[in-house]
Amino acid sequence: MTDAVAYSRPTVHTTGFLGLIERVNFKHWPIIVKFTSLAVMLFTIAAAAIYMMDDTNRFVAGKFDALVTHDASGAVAVSRASRALVYTTSSIYEAITAISQTDIAAAAARQAEGIKIFADQIALAERDIPALGAPLALISRDFNSAVTGPCALGLRLAAGSTSPEEDAEATRVMNRECRPALQKAEDASTPSCPALSARTRWAPSRAARKSCASRCWKPSRRAQWPPSRSG
């Protein structure tokens, strides 16, 4: 019977760069080094993920802050300007139908207040939403043209009237010239409202969105202005 001869593969020692790679191969590392290296690798990956998440959160927070600070506040400003327009229209009617000089003066004061509030709110909206500067400028132009043109004529006729015929003429100017001019300013505000609604649909304040949507589109002509402080 022939004895089996054990065969073992000869060990080949690689030199140079390949030898270095063979010696640092992961399978040749001590177990403690393997665990340590894996822990370091996992920690590095986790740190990178946290950094990327934090960077993304900062980006989103910046966009969110810009939306709340500018777009939502701009929408509220447009809504308040629209309410001031309605308030001004009401004060002009009051001035034309007033009987005493005291009532005329009170209506004129309310008209001046409405005009100032309108101008201030349009300026705020233009500052907060520059992209809507053109339509807002159109609204402001039409409004100012109305109050300094046909509406001013109606007010002068009403203030100097001494007979029912002159009162009727002032009312005619208001209904046929002043009111359509103010309506043009109101109608000019309508195209900007869908854009405002689109810009603010993700805003956290539902009140801001409703404030824009509530008037852009035919509010009650009897809306009170200025708003109650409790609101």
39 is a domain residue: no
pLDDT reported for residue 23: 56
- Name the residue range of residue 178's domain: 51-190
Query: In CATH, what number is assigned to the domain containing residue 104?
Result: 1.20.120
227 is a domain residue: no
11 is a domain residue: no
Q: How far is CA 138 from CA 88, 102, 151, in A?
A: 18, 34, 18
Cis peptide before 191 (omega within 30 of 0): no
Is the pTM higher than 0.75? no
9 is a domain residue: no
Work out how many domains the chain is built from and give that number. 1
The burial class, CB within 10 Å (0-12 / 13-18 / 19+), for 231 is exposed
Which mean pLDDT values do the consecutive 10-residue runs of the chain (231 residues) have? 49 52 58 70 77 62 52 78 85 80 84 90 85 82 86 78 76 85 74 54 46 43 42 40
